[in-house]
Homo-oligomer: A and B are copies of this chain.
């Protein structure tokens, strides 16, 4: 017998309520889209005050497990959207002093195999998505504000084309963290958009041909180009990634 005692954890009621509801959702006893009872009703069922229920709902809401549908008052169960989840990851990484090099290294590891997987698994609609994203970037290449979003959109389509949610979600935080430095690069390096357009076209061709290796190769070059761009733009790789201005933004409800 040990003389040591484990510190005993006192769980506040609002947390227990959140965990209980959350477990129901994760176990799929509550299905997506299903409406939650009203706050008053939940308070009655859990035998706690409505304020306590509300604190629990805020927690579930911020995890994306529940959501208010547009124009509705009742909360409904929802699957966390990629961007919401990724925002949490991005924020965590920002506070952990992530450098541009760290993000770039992760991209250079993840993206080429992701492109290969996309080339192999892509369907016709995926192709359309990728090609549309490439076209829009090409059109808006000079507005750096828009351009970075289009680049991210291109990658996102690629991620979807893998039909592997893990890969799609894994790259999302990287895209978010990439934005600020990419914007600077596009602003400072006149030839950057052109090189991106080329890479996107080659990648699209590889996807059309279902040529995984070509996609891998072109993505490798594409990512390596980024690091060259950083150099030319005078962005130090050891620089900390800066917070996006839109961080912790309000989620738009569709």
Could you name 19 residue pairs across A and B whose Cβ atoms are closer than 8 Å? A9-B250, A11-B250, A19-B248, A22-B91, A22-B247, A26-B91, A55-B58, A59-B59, A62-B62, A63-B88, A64-B92, A79-B95, A82-B92, A92-B169, A93-B169, A98-B165, A102-B164, A105-B166, A109-B114
Interface string of A12-30 (1 = CB under 8 A from B): 0011001100110111000
Residues of A52-67 whose CB lies within 8 A of B: 54-56, 58-59, 61-65
- A7 interface contact, C-beta 8 A: yes
- A80 interface contact, C-beta 8 A: yes
- A74 interface contact, C-beta 8 A: no
For the complex of A and B, list the 6 residue pairs with the smallest distance between their C-beta atoms, beginning with the closest.
Answer: A80-B92, A106-B166, A109-B113, A79-B95, A58-B58, A59-B62
- What is the distance, in angstroms, from A146's C-beta to the closest C-beta of chain B? 17
Closest chain B residue, CB of each to CB of A243: B26
- A51 interface contact, C-beta 8 A: yes
A167→B109 contact, CB < 8 A: yes
CA distance A167 to B80 in the complex (A): 22
CA distance A36 to B79 in the complex (A): 32
A89→B96 contact, CB < 8 A: no
CA distance A103 to B167 in the complex (A): 9
- Residues of chain B within 8 A of A88, CB atoms compared: 63-64, 80, 85, 88
Interface, chain A (partner B; CB < 8 A): 7, 9, 11, 14-15, 18-19, 22-23, 25-27, 32, 51, 54-56, 58-59, 61-65, 70, 79-80, 82, 85, 88-89, 91-98, 102-103, 105-106, 109-110, 113-114, 117, 164-167, 169-170, 173-174, 177, 243, 247-250, 252-253
Closest chain B residue, CB of each to CB of A113: B109
- What is the distance, in angstroms, from A31's C-beta to the closest C-beta of chain B? 10
- Residues of chain B within 8 A of A82, CB atoms compared: 92
CA distance A112 to B102 in the complex (A): 17
CA distance A253 to B12 in the complex (A): 14
